[in-house]
Chains A and B, each alone.
Chain A
């Protein structure tokens, strides 16, 4: 969109909740930002429809007290994120205003704070040299942000190639100081500072190509890593009824995942849940670097009581930040909880504009909007040959817990991992409540991932995973038979099949997110326990009657569970392992 010096002005002519109709005196663009002047403050809004000389804008604030006739200033640009060093460890609202910089206990309408400290000095080191040819996203230099090499890049908005006319020497510079001057083909000179702006609803395309993902992204959650792995640059979603464990699961991933940067978008969910992050992340260690988790994390909090329009913006803000760090060659993990709230925000606006509704009153283009968003994730080869990735996992909160609804269905078409949380499992406290049969990771079918898994973990790994899934499936069938025919209506073998799947369920699937040891299971430990569980499943055991099976397997599971709760390979761990061995010996046939 053209940025013009002369900005259009307008006057409020109608108000319906947070939809405001503005009579304008000049050109306006779709998605242009404007500010409504209301007794000394300016309330930010975005154009979402234009009809003749009327612009329909969604206000990112409460519209209480707005009156027809109030003046509106158009900004000449779309909703933009300020990108630069200092984003990490910050807590933002949906529009990327620094929440900690705000003054009061209550949020003040129109109090817009800078995304990061614009006066801060950084130790800059040049990476490009005078005369180098650069383009959007090229690395010009770097600063050290929380021990992460933060690249200062040629602005994403550049088109075509530029030559570096000058570049600052290593030293201390302010965020807004010019650290380079670039010259275009037409001789136009572009000064570059450490800050650039990017319209959040547009994808950053400063890369060469997006290959299919091929590397595992370890999360420490067994049911994900082992059974349905997510990958660097992959997409996944977690649908589930309320209380089934979506947030706990995402928080576990955010704490444990093998990522350089974690961006958490709390989108229309509970404030107390982001307070958990604010409280814990500065204290908890990143298991990969030993530094504090907060150092690698940025939180975007548009909680459910914050304005609805800003909720829609919040996921885009988060994605733009993710793309910025990906362009530095970093592994970014982006989590959004819950994408359904974002879809609902779209629905509220669409209804107010009296658009023709699609299924469940959601806007007709919902599937396209969702697919467009997910497509911004991915692993990319940057122009300098390095890779960077955004792995995106969103939660979905289906109405009534019924997966046959527009947000779940639209997401299922685009996300490659499906982690379905089951009410039944949650009710019986089998956490995490991911249904092992319904859920899938399409990546597990990728030969390139299978290859890396077998290399990284062990040669027969993918086969073992298949075996586990098989046991679970057969266990489910056995359970159904037992239910229909009764305990004594089926063979002892059927009971064995069932109980072996219970072992897999209890030891591999179930994981206590609130136990210090069990919460995170590194890959090596996962592999060890998978071997153990498969060994149990393959052990020939003899029973005289089905009544002996249940108590016996309860003991097997108890011993294995104690192993899960013990420090890996500690004396305690070994002791339970021996105990297990003893239990298995008892039933050796012969």
Chain B
């Protein structure tokens, strides 16, 4: 970013912490962008003529007489069709070999959509993964994270979902992505011949953590451009939002704010909601769907980050290794898509809701039987059948390597019902049983 004539320059830094510095200056706007000794920074507090700046790359080596240049605007991104196929850093600067993007300059983190101008989401996203399409159906305009421990293959599943989702644009917001994962995404998209519809904003583990705070807003500003202006179906991938929240806590901590639960800032809910609520279905056809990753520590969802996320997003997808079949599955108990009601049984076959529920209920019976077994009790005939059902259900439907269409998923479920249970045990509406119960 070059310096221009109207920019105001100050050199009296009065206070420096690890993430912020305070400069004596006038005419400063809240959230204004500035360069401190050449590093990007943003105004986070103004008291009289003292402006406190959050320096994204950290304050190491910044002297008290460093040049502070105020840019007269908050952080922006130049949007245009030329974004497609490009890779950027957290500031929206190209990190591939391509040229600077020309286009309209937009402030990131812009205003919210008027709720009465939203449309109720109703367009199904199919992924071929039954753990998603059958049990936790996704809809355009939805926001949903993977809740997963760091060792699980969430980025792989996410890339797979993104490629199968038939989106017009896929926007990757890489937040503290390892270099390996970054290259993985790049390869997968390239091999699928999808690079022209991908836009990436990436902060890797090698970059300063506070820079991460810019990535989701950059990604979502680009998403809004394509969804509003071009009426496209945009899929935004944000991985890993836990690292985003960690960056928030670093800043609030440096600003001496009173932390609430798990040393997270008291505003964590609002901060995350502002991002996730960018997911939207517009009346004119464009949409932004957000699929995110929230890594957990030891599966603990009561930690403030997954907890607040769960309260904001429209469900969550849990990955778990099923040791009995030796595969990663989408856990049917803890996963949930809250928007599925809008499409299942309406855009899919009428028996979908009841089949889905019955299967999960029977799977729960199997879990109870397993507990009994572990406690050394005898199993009833029903328990035995439930266990066998669960094993096949897991392998044929829950495993993430399943790739079939929804109709086929329903057929498989009915077949398993018929194989292991009586109609009374399955307990679905009679008219549906009459229609779909497998004939001998």
Contacts and interface: CB of A to CB of B under 8 A. Distances in A.
B436 to A, nearest CB: 16
A553 B121 CA distance: 40
B38 interface: no
Interface stretch (B319-327, B371-379, B405-413): B371-379
A428 B339 CA distance: 19
Interface in A40-79: 62-68
Interface stretch (A199-207, A300-308, A459-467): A300-308
A420 B150 CA distance: 33
A42 to B, nearest CB: 17
Contacts of B118: 271-272, 275
Interface stretch (A103-111, A131-139, A287-295): A103-111
Contacts of B378: 486-488
B48 interface: yes
Interface stretch (B54-62, B182-190, B230-238, B423-431): B423-431
Interface stretch (A253-261, A398-406, A496-504): A398-406
A16 B353 CA distance: 48
A33 interface: no
Contact of A16 (B45, B112, B228, B316): B45
Interface string B11-55: 000000000000000111111100000000000111111000000
A562 interface: yes
B307 A242 contact: yes
B316 to A, nearest CB: 8
A220 interface: no
B404 interface: no
A427 B278 CA distance: 28
Given A242-B310, A351-B258, A427-B334, A107 B112 contact: yes
A99 interface: yes
Contacts of A272: 118, 120-121, 141-142, 314, 339
B439 interface: no
A357 B260 CA distance: 10
Contacts of A241: 310
Contact of B312 (A108, A304, A344, A428): A304
Given A65-B29, A271-B113, A304-B277, A15 B46 contact: yes
B48 A107 contact: no
Nearest to B333: A427
B261 A360 contact: yes
B435 interface: no
B6 interface: no
Interface residues of B, number: 81
Contacts of A555: 424
A68 B46 CA distance: 8
B192 interface: no
A65 B257 contact: no
A565 to B, nearest CB: 6
* Max count, chain B CB within 10 A of own CB: residue among A305, A487, A557: A305
A489 B376 CA distance: 12
Interface in A555-589: 555, 557-558, 561-562, 565
Contacts, number: 199
B47 to A, nearest CB: 4
B372 A68 contact: no
A428 B364 contact: yes
Contact of A344 (B266, B282, B307, B314): B266
Contacts of A100: 116
B46 to A, nearest CB: 5
A429 B48 CA distance: 56
A226 interface: no
A106 B29 contact: no
A87 to B, nearest CB: 16
B112 A306 contact: yes
B135 to A, nearest CB: 11
A68 B141 contact: no
A375 interface: no
A565 B428 CA distance: 10
A486 B372 contact: yes
A557 B310 CA distance: 33
A272 B273 CA distance: 13
A243 interface: yes
Given A243-B336, A429-B361, A279 B120 contact: yes
Contacts of A64: 29-31, 74, 107
A565 B433 CA distance: 14
Contact of B26 (A68, A102, A274): A68
A431 B117 CA distance: 31
A347 interface: yes
B280 A271 contact: yes
Given A15-B30, A109-B111, A486 B375 contact: yes
Contacts of B116: 91, 99-100, 102, 278
A284 to B, nearest CB: 13
A305 B277 contact: yes
B381 A547 contact: yes
Nearest to B274: A305
Interface string A102-141: 1011111100000000000000000000000000000000
Contacts of B31: 63-65
B270 interface: yes
A555 B423 CA distance: 9
Interface string B239-265: 000000000000000000111110000
Interface string B360-374: 110010000000100
Nearest to B43: A15
Contacts of B302: 400-402
A487 B380 contact: yes
A549 B207 CA distance: 63
A243 B315 contact: yes
A83 interface: no
A188 to B, nearest CB: 42
A243 B338 CA distance: 8
A369 to B, nearest CB: 16
A209 interface: no
Nearest to A266: B115
A487 B369 CA distance: 11
Nearest to B427: A558
B349 interface: no
Contact of B269 (A271, A304, A357): A304
Nearest to A360: B260
B260 A361 contact: yes
A550 B260 contact: no
A488 to B, nearest CB: 6
Contacts of A274: 115
Nearest to A101: B116
A488 B376 CA distance: 12
Contact of B114 (A63, A106, A308, A562): A106
Interface in B96-131: 107, 110-121
A100 B115 CA distance: 9
Nearest to A304: B273
A348 B268 CA distance: 10
A400 B314 contact: no
A357 B303 CA distance: 21
Contacts of A351: 257-258, 266
B115 A271 contact: yes
B205 interface: no
B76 interface: no
B304 interface: yes
The 6 closest A-B pairs by CB, nearest first: A304-B273, A400-B302, A305-B277, A242-B310, A486-B377, A14-B47
Given A13-B48, A303-B115, 14 more contacts: A64-B30, A66-B30, A104-B117, A106-B113, A243-B338, A278-B116, A304-B274, A304-B312, A305-B273, A305-B278, A344-B266, A399-B307, A554-B425, A561-B427
25 contacts: A15-B46, A16-B46, A68-B48, A68-B49, A105-B282, A106-B110, A106-B114, A242-B307, A243-B316, A271-B112, A271-B277, A272-B142, A275-B120, A279-B120, A304-B312, A305-B274, A347-B266, A348-B266, A361-B266, A401-B302, A427-B333, A427-B334, A429-B364, A488-B378, A547-B380
